[in-house]
């Protein structure tokens, strides 16, 4: 045998003359066949202008001296094309595509990125090691599941009702929260401390959609206080003698600030605030979807009768751009009686901010003043609808134009569809 069986490299034979010729031919072949890199696929290499050492593949319609040599590797050596018949399993780099190609019984094909070759994989690890339980494992700062023109769903399917289909959140591979349908077909949210004990936080019945809170609430109840059937709760606030450690439910236990309201109010019930002193409103109190009716009354310190109390609106300490005050979403009705408001903030927005909602505001015996530099108004929002009614409303010259957001000092509020009023000018 005068050539090697795989790549057909010539042997140097016994007593062969000019052995260097055979040796050099083999060296030329090795130079072309080791780390194969081809410029492109061409039908007629003679039609191009190669440089020494360039390689191409013969195309499917070879011409001239290359007829019948489809898929051959052609290397340009010593001013001539040297042809090499490929063997199944050869790999080459195609410079024009920037891809690795392989020679198979079907010819040259792209050796990577073939979709058929990533179907039905047993395991897949992306920068990670998959195992028999976590058959897909990813170590990454984030994972993106993007749409393809419309929506996108992430589906988690289980075999039977008693099985689990959920999202599990862990710290150090120890479970801390889980949401999904676990052990039943009702949706639930569960949490766990580091002792491994799981507690049901939220459960949603799949039959009727009713929501339960098996572990209860940490602050805001969804029902009135025991024995209170009036549907109208009272909270006492005294900024001088009150204490936010109190519950605020009695004259002897007043709270100190508006901020404490969020943990004491009863969602869905009317609330009356009995204001026993002047107070600074320097917090944003978000009452979104919480109260249908808020009544603030100025009272004497012993709650024996009415007395005007001043709410000074300052910059909010718990918000970077908002003035102190209340935020409402959905419908809320507000009534102020013997409450004066001083706008002392340097910020914008409104003391009663109705965010994309409807509301109603009524005042009685109110003085509105303004000492701040901000554009904060008594009430309103560009996207709200707040009819309002006033009895004995006194607006200082500096506060004119700062009653309803967007209504100027001499404007008729009824010209603005958002604020129909019983007044022609605030």
Q: Is residue 155 part of a domain?
A: no
Asked if residue 198 and residue 293 are part of one domain, the reply reads: no
- One digit per residue, pLDDT tens: the chain, 426 residues? 575 555 555 556 666 566 655 556 666 666 667 788 899 999 999 888 888 888 899 999 999 889 999 999 888 888 888 888 898 888 999 999 888 999 999 899 988 654 445 677 888 899 999 999 999 999 999 999 999 999 999 999 999 999 999 999 999 999 999 999 999 999 999 999 887 899 999 999 999 888 888 876 554 444 344 344 455 789 999 999 999 999 999 999 999 999 998 888 878 888 999 999 999 999 999 988 888 889 999 999 999 999 999 999 999 999 999 999 999 887 889 999 999 999 999 999 999 999 877 899 999 999 999 999 999 999 999 888 999 999 999 999 999 999 999 999 999 999 999 999 999 988
Asked if residue 176 and residue 61 are part of one domain, the reply reads: no
Structure confidence at residue 114 (pLDDT) = 46
The 3-class secondary structure across 215-281, one letter per residue, is: CCCCCCCCCCCCCCCCCEEEEEECCCCCCCCCCCCCCCCCECCHHHHHHHCCCCCEEEEEECCCEEE
Q: Is residue 164 part of a domain?
A: yes
H-helix or E-strand spanning residue 164: strand 164-171
Asked if residue 106 and residue 24 are part of one domain, the reply reads: yes
What domain range is 168 assigned to? 160-216
Asked if residue 321 and residue 178 are part of one domain, the reply reads: no
Q: Is residue 62 part of a domain?
A: yes
Asked if residue 325 and residue 247 are part of one domain, the reply reads: yes
CA distances from 241 to 195, 237, 273 (A): 43, 9, 16
Q: How many independent structural domains does the chain possess?
A: 3
CB of 290 within 8 A of CB of 267?
Answer: yes
Asked if residue 317 and residue 252 are part of one domain, the reply reads: yes
CB of 238 within 8 A of CB of 220?
Answer: no
Q: Is residue 46 part of a domain?
A: yes
Q: Is residue 73 part of a domain?
A: yes
Asked if residue 240 and residue 203 are part of one domain, the reply reads: no
Question: Last residue of a domain, which of 110, 137, 171?
Answer: 110
Asked if residue 322 and residue 260 are part of one domain, the reply reads: yes
Asked if residue 236 and residue 198 are part of one domain, the reply reads: no
Q: Is residue 5 part of a domain?
A: no
Asked if residue 165 and residue 239 are part of one domain, the reply reads: no
Q: Is residue 52 part of a domain?
A: yes
Asked if residue 385 and residue 245 are part of one domain, the reply reads: yes
Question: Last residue of a domain, which of 44, 76, 110?
Answer: 110
Q: What are the pLDDT digits (tens) for 290-334?
A: 888 899 999 999 999 999 999 999 999 999 999 999 998 878 899
Asked if residue 387 and residue 239 are part of one domain, the reply reads: yes
């Amino acid at each position: 045998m005068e050539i090697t069986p795989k790549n057909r490299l010539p042997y140097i034979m016994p007593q062969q003359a000019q052995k260097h010729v055979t040796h050099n031919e083999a060296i030329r072949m090795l130079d072309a066949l080791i780390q194969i890199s081809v410029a492109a696929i061409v039908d007629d290499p003679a039609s191009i202008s190669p440089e020494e050492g360039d390689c191409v593949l013969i195309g499917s319609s070879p011409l001239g001296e290359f007829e019948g040599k489809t898929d051959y590797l052609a290397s340009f050596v010593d001013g001539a094309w040297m042809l090499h018949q490929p063997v199944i399993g050869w790999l080459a780099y195609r410079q024009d595509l920037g891809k690795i190609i392989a020679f198979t019984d079907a010819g040259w094909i792209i050796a990577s990125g073939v979709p058929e070759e990533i179907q039905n994989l047993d395991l897949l690890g992306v920068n990670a090691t998959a195992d028999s339980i976590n058959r897909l494992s990813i170590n990454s700062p984030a994972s993106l599941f993007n749409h393809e023109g419309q929506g996108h769903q992430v589906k988690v399917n289980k075999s039977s009702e008693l099985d689990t289909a959920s999202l599990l959140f862990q710290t150090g591979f120890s479970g801390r929260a889980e949401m999904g349908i676990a052990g039943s077909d009702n949706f639930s949210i569960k949490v766990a401390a580091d002792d491994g004990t799981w507690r049901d936080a939220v459960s949603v019945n799949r039959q009727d959609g009713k929501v339960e809170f098996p572990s209860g609430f940490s602050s805001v109840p969804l029902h009135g206080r025991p024995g209170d059937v009036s549907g109208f709760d009272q909270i006492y606030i005294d900024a001088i003698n009150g204490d936010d450690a109190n519950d605020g439910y009695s004259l002897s236990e007043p709270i100190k600030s508006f901020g404490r309201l969020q943990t004491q109010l009863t969602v869905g019930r009317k609330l009356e605030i009995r204001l026993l002193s002047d107070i600074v409103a320097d917090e944003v109190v978000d009452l979104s979807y919480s109260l249908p009716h808020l009544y603030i009354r100025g009272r004497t310190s012993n709650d024996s009768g009415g007395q005007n109390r001043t709410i000074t609106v300052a910059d909010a300490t718990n918000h970077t751009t908002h003035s102190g005050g209340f935020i409402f979403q959905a419908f809320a009705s507000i009534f102020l009686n013997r409450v004066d408001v001083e706008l002392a903030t340097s910020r914008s927005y409104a003391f009663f901010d109705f965010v994309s909602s409807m509301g109603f505001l009524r005042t009685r015996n109110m003085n509105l003043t303004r000492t701040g530099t901000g554009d904060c108004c008594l009430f309103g929002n560009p996207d709200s609808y707040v009819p309002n009614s006033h009895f004995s409303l006194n607006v200082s010259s500096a506060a004119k134009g700062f009653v309803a957001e967007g209504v100027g000092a001499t404007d008729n509020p009824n010209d603005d569809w958002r604020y129909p009023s019983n007044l022609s000018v605030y």
